Amino acid sequence: MPAMAIAQALHPPKPYNPGFSCKAPFPVGNKRYSCIGLYNPKSPENVGSVMRAAGCYGVASVFYTGVRYERARDFITDTKKVHHDIPLIGIDDLKKILPLGCTPVAVELVEGARPLPEYTHPDRALYIFGPEDGSLDKEIRDWCEDVVYIPTTGCMNLAATVNVVLYDRLAKGNNTRSGPKY
């Protein structure tokens, strides 16, 4: 056996991310982050405004399903060109892209949803938003660990809803499930 193979057998290489563990709750270097999932967004204006919000609040990535946005994405209104810094990824099923250690959170005004002001955000969240002209399917809401809503007297558009949820996360700062990090 060559000396290199013996050395590797005696001292296997360390994993790329030493903070990673396969045990729940999947600590990913103790980093907090959020991602956005858009379920069949209606228009490129909506997606462009969501991308701008994502850039303002440091979102890691944005995923979307459906064909309506795909047909019109050349007309995106992302005036800050955030899509150059934050991945915008089309996918057929949001369940397939759940980032490691993320908690899926549906944002939808439905019975049983928790009001956003009372909600404690997970350290790593995938916030899933429905289209302006529809709702999230029950299958998606059932898959999500949490369902929250913004208590308003009327409907908000998609970008406004994303901004409010991300601002709430920012404003609550260290008030996440694992508590403060110093």
Q: Where are the domains of the chain?
A: 32-172
Tell which residue, 34, 21, 55, has the closest CA to residue 99: 34
pLDDT, tens digit (0-9, with 9 covering 90-100), for 85-136: 788 888 999 998 888 889 999 999 999 999 999 999 999 999 999 998 899 9
**Is the separation of the CB atoms in 111 and 160 below 8 Å?**
no
pTM of the model: 0.77
CA–chain centroid gap for 85, Å, is 15
* Cα dihedral 38, 43, 48, 53 in deg (nearest 10): -50
Mode of pairing for the β-strands spanning 62-64 and 88-90: parallel
CATH classification code of 32-172? 3.40.1280.10
pLDDT, tens digit (0-9, with 9 covering 90-100), for 74-87: 545 555 566 667 88
108, two tokens: 């939808």
Q: Over pLDDT 70: what percentage of the chain?
A: 70
Distance CA 7, CA 9 (A): 5
